[in-house]
Chain A
Amino acid sequence: MTEMTIAAEGSGADAARLVQAQGGAAGSVRDAVVLQFHQAAANQEKNLHPLSDELVLLECGLDSLCFAIIVAELDDALGLDPFSDADEVFFPVTFGDFVALYEAAAAKAGR
């Protein structure tokens, strides 16, 4: 629950930067994503289901507005927006897909 504690203390973007700074290279993208899901759920008063790679995004308790906010916060925190940057847009279906999309974007950006 470390990320929840951090999230409660700072704004989403700040906390995500903190996680990124603290985490290792492999874990940081996933941690930032997890943090933003929790942050969006808290701010938008949604009940987020426990996150697992198999969880279908549209059944995780968040709506389109939450996803839009998560994508914007991750752009601010990580400088990555795979939805807008990719030549071919691929809409993730599961939480695992979502994380993989950002991990691939981070790898492509050399991070």
Chain B
Amino acid sequence: MGDLRTRLAEAARDGAQLFGPSSRLSLVELARASGLGEDRDSLAGRAVLARTGTQIGAAQALVELDGLARRIVIAPPDLADEHLAQVVETAGIEAVVTDAADEALDGLGLPVRVLAAPSLAVSAQDSGRLASEWLMFTSGTTGAPKMVIHTLQGLTGAIRPRAAGASPIVWGTFYDIRRYGGLQILLRALTAGSSMILSDAHEPVTRHLDRLGALGVTHLSGTPSHWRRLLMTGEARRIAPGYVRLSGEIADQAVLDSLKAAFPAAAIGHAYASTEAGVGFEVDDGLEGFPEHFVGRAGGPVEMKVEDGSLRIRSPRAALGYAGEAAPALADADGFVDTGDMVELKDGRWRFCGRRNGVINVGGLKVHPEEVEAVINRHPAVRASLVRARKSPITGALVAADVALADPAAAEAPEAQAALRASILAACRAALPLHKAPASVRFVPGLAVTAGGKLDRAHG
């Protein structure tokens, strides 16, 4: 299969580039030369953290490090400085590659290598010395971040080769490439030598859309929430993608139909993937959910079964396991990864109906009910709380809380109820990122408890 630089060198088309909001990088240059200078050799065989300020820097770091470093740890954009030391320990990190000086990295006591423009030629013999491990962060875990171990071969397992002579692709994504959904698109672009337009969290949607249009995006991916946001700009006509891809959240029929209306000429597909289980499948018939026969199908690279209502996947594209000593097993004894996504079969079609344990997906960001409940329960007036998903046509779901008060009479008067609600919400907003704070709070007389003594989430 070869390392990423070798695959890029074989595929890179003349003129193909990675386009950032304020810089660009030629794929031919990226394949041909290193931006690590004399530092490159010091990273050979090491476990290296790639923590960059920009997505284009992250893409360069991945090409530099695959085949060179023993282990590449891809820091997501929201990895908090306070978690760095623990990540370094868990993943056994020995060096850091970045694209700009960063004070938080200086305190780690590790060599920090800063990427420059590619300039030092890398010979074919000098690349691809080993099969690097790729460590990615799972999304939305409570407390310390968790990492899973992938390989380039597994990460690119769902990518089909393109026919020779096919017209050039220009990829775009609303995802960050340091997350699984975005990385899938980056690897599609790099292994096919195609251009790709990268975004920036601080870039206004309309400006990103202008760049996508001006650079002629042909293939565009994002979560359903990303796509709804695009539809709300009223500027969808600025782009004319031939392929529209949704992943990362449940793609409902409304968003699929809206995209078909906005881009009548485009093929519209939704993919199921997770950082742990890899790319499961892709659906291209324009309907929500997925066909019944996908489950239990043998002989393909990906096998799926449904057990206790949740989708399980056995696949060479799945992560090899969690990083760190004493990490829990990722797969069961038969090699199936439990995705935690609950599905129901109806009229020959499997449909997603939320997450086990009530994990809430707010616009692609996962929220564990327990972490929100813990904050609410610290409020002096609260006896217990149950946090659940509330369906939203905009972000898929929102966080909603049912709260039982220590003194139910405290919320009898409307003014008192409003004041209590405001006070609970203020506590949540002070302690949690805004998407985790409840969008609505309802006062209830009591909360049901299961026979096992736990909050009854199924009937909350």
Contacts and interface: CB of A to CB of B under 8 A. Distances in A.
B229 A58 contact: yes
A11 B421 contact: yes
A13 B400 CA distance: 14
A68 B398 CA distance: 7
Nearest to A76: B440
A11, A45, A81 interface centre (most CB from chain B within 10 Å):
A11
Interface in B154-203: none
Nearest to B397: A68
B458 to A, nearest CB: 22
A48 interface: no
A71 to B, nearest CB: 6
Interface string B381-395: 000000000111111
A11 B439 contact: no
A14 B392 CA distance: 20
Interface of A: 9-11, 13-14, 43-45, 56-59, 64-65, 67-69, 71-73, 76, 81, 83-84, 88-89, 91-94
B337 to A, nearest CB: 30
A58 B229 CA distance: 8
A11 B225 CA distance: 26
A65 B435 CA distance: 7
Contacts of B119: none
Interface string B223-236: 00100110111100
B233 A13 contact: no
B418 A58 contact: no
B254 interface: yes
Interface residues of B, number: 36
A19 to B, nearest CB: 14
B418 A10 contact: yes
B229 A81 contact: no
Interface in B248-265: 254-255, 257-258
Given A56-B233, A73-B440, A81 B363 contact: no
Nearest to B254: A89
B362, B390, B395, B421 interface centre (most CB from chain A within 10 Å):
B395
B197 to A, nearest CB: 19
B441 to A, nearest CB: 8
Contacts of B398: 68-69, 72
A8 to B, nearest CB: 9
Contacts of A92: 232
B367 to A, nearest CB: 11
B258 A89 contact: yes
B439 A68 contact: yes
Contacts of B418: 9-11, 14
A83 B394 contact: yes
Contacts of B429: 43
Contacts of A68: 362-363, 392-395, 398, 439
Given A71-B394, A84-B391, A65 B363 contact: yes
B121 interface: no
Contacts of B422: 11
Contacts of B421: 11
Contacts of A10: 414-415, 418
A9 to B, nearest CB: 7
A37 B255 CA distance: 24
Contacts of B440: 13, 72-73, 76
14 contacts: A14-B417, A43-B429, A57-B232, A59-B204, A64-B394, A65-B434, A68-B392, A68-B394, A69-B398, A83-B394, A89-B255, A91-B228, A91-B232, A93-B232
B444 interface: no
A100 to B, nearest CB: 14
